[in-house]
Amino acid sequence: MTHKSESSFTGRLRLVLLCLYVLIWPVNVSGDAAVKAALPSAQPMAGIMPVSFPSAVPSSGAPGSLQPLPSLADMLERVNPAVVNIATRSVVRESNRLLEDPFFRRFFNVPKSRQRYRRTQSAGSGVVIDSGQGYIVTNAHVVKGADEISIGLSDGRTLEATLIGTDPEVDLALLQVEAEDLTAIEYANSARLRVGDFVVAIGNPFGLNQTVTSGIVSALGRSGLGIEGYEDFIQTDAPINPGNSGGALVDLHGRLVGINTAIFAPSGGNIGIGFAIPANMVSAVTAQLIEKGEVNRGFVGAIVQPLNRELARAFGVISAGGMPQGVVIVDVEKGSSAEQAGLEPGDVIVQMGENPIVSVADFSAQAATMFIGDEVAVQYVRQGEQASTMLRIVADQQQAVAGKSLTPWLRGVELQNLRGGDETMPGAGVVATEVANRSPAYAFGLRPGDVIVGANRVAIEDIATLRDAVRRDSRQLLLRIFRNSRFYYVVIR
């Protein structure tokens, strides 16, 4: 055995004995003092650096005491009472389309049977936004078709709620209860959220009351999902499950940043992709529902498209970092708010109100919170020059329109409100006056003279309601039409 190997063996032996010595020696103090007490005369060996052993949690108090661990408990004690459980009950008619078909019944001599009904119930979550008036916000789909709505509070009380109004375009509903000692939540400014901010989801998944999960903001301004008519979602990886709909997404101060509304779940469960409606949109919509009991969105009438770098350079709206700024107007509809404000095709909108417009999602989010009678300052770029105008929101009173202005699915279709003689027939539907032979609508079965009475399962009264309905699903357009005294369905994909 060489001298080098003997030295190495001796060093390892001394290290093992040293470790045993530290483990069995009685230690009554913590940190570096423990090592010093156990090894009063130990000297560092050659090639081995001394190691310090700090306390698991540093303490500035008495020896041996530990500081409290970081926790969300204090914040949740304040916020949890503002999140409620919502139980709904409804009576639905059981139907069998085959047995209800007159031809089938006559051919097989099926006797007429009595109507059968069954009682259903569902559950969701809600958030108290005004303790004095008893206002609670939740998702519209949570209370859709409900005959009875019950609110379960964190203190065990159960209250009956009244539905004040809904906004299916953004999937929000406002309820009201009569109660004292309610706890309301505080709104945050969701425009200040950043990707990476910590958030906490609170709700009642699967009926498990006051369930809390945490995560971060994964993305902002998510749209094009085909979930709602107006989409500007906060994406989060905080676990959201069935029953969380209508619950709160809060920041670490306990302020409301969003209302949980949907998850991406190809397997049926949570995979860390959840979506929430931003608090600023919630605040604007609920204020409209409180004031009027319904949402009256105006007719902006500006058709916009995003800018890539080449277009941004051409329009002179590229940032110093090389990022496109704004959205470009490609068409302005007659009689719209945009036309009255003097906006023209080619104008690049860069700001609306206090909110910068960077993408089409930003523009749509702003449009979702603009109601009839509102005035919004718009900053735009025209031929390289900065300009501004006041956008006054007016009602949609169009009588005829090109289908492409509503949705690409209706490209090549001319539409107008149904008329009887020379007078418009309110609530009757929208007639397709022209359908181009090479259009997608013609290929899927729409014909001139067809009257559109439903779109994406929404009853169509006029062009204004059709405009709202086509936003509900970006993946396809389901039309219910009236032709030759019969009803048909046409789906355009």
Residue tagged active-site, from 122, 141, 190, 347: 141
| 445-481: pLDDT as tens digits | 999 889 999 998 888 888 888 888 887 777 889 999 9
Active-site residue flag, 167:
no
And the tokens for 462?
A: 């006029």
The pLDDT tens digits for 183-240 are 999 999 998 999 999 999 999 888 788 889 999 999 998 887 777 778 889 999 998 8
Tokens 């676990």: give the residue.
Answer: 239
Q: Nearest Cα to 276, choosing from 127, 468, 77, 73?
A: 127
Report the alpha-carbon distance of residue 377 to residue 178 in Å, rounded. 39
Above 50 in pLDDT, residue 176?
A: yes
Query: Has 253 been annotated as catalytic?
Result: no
Residue 166, pLDDT > 70, answer yes
- The C-alpha atoms of residue 129 and residue 282 are separated, in whole angstroms, by 10
Q: Where are the domains of the chain?
A: 3-38, 72-295, 302-392, 400-492
Q: Which of 82, 177, 184 is nearest to 130 (CA)?
A: 184
- Within 10 angstroms of residue 121's Cβ, the number of other Cβ atoms is 11
Same fold: 302-392 with 400-492: yes
Q: SS3 helix, strand, coil % of the chain, rounded to 5?
A: 25, 35, 45
Domain 302-392 indexed as CATH 2.60.40.10: no
The catalytically annotated residue of 245, 283, 337, 364 is 245
Written as one letter, the residue type at 282 is V
- Would you give the distance in Å from CA 310 to the centre of its chain? 31
The whole-number pLDDT of residue 298 equals: 79
- pLDDT of 39 strictly over 60: no
- 54-81 pLDDT, tens digit each: 444 454 555 566 777 788 899 999 999 9
Q: What is the pLDDT of residue 147?
A: 87
Strands 458-459 and 451-455: antiparallel
400: Cβ contacts below 8 Å, ≥ 6 apart: 414, 415, 416, 417, 433, 463
279-292 and 360-368 helices, crossing angle to 10°: 20
DSSP summary character for residue 371: B
Q: Tens digit of pLDDT for each residue in 407-440? A: 888 989 988 888 654 455 555 788 998 899 889 9
**Element of type H or E holding 333:** none
Contact 57, 69 (CB under 8 A): yes
**Active-site residue, 113 included:** no
Pick the CATH number of 400-492 from 3.40.449.10, 2.60.40.420, 2.30.140.10, 2.30.42.10: 2.30.42.10
What amino acid occupies position 8? S
Residue 33: what pLDDT?
40
- State the Cα–Cα distance between residues 205 and 242, nearest whole angstrom: 5
Catalytic residue among 125, 150, 167, 171: 171
The verdict on domain 72-295 having CATH code 2.40.10.120 is yes
Statement: residue 359 has pLDDT above 90: no
d(CA 257, CA 277): 8
* Token pair recorded at residue 70: 């970081």
51 backbone dihedrals φ, ψ, rounded to 5°: -115, 130
Query: Which pTM does this prediction carry?
Result: 0.69
Residue range 133-143, pLDDT digits in tens: 999 999 999 99
Whose CA is closest to 236, among 196, 269, 205, 189? 196
Closest by CA position to 93, among listed 110, 113, 109, 107: 113
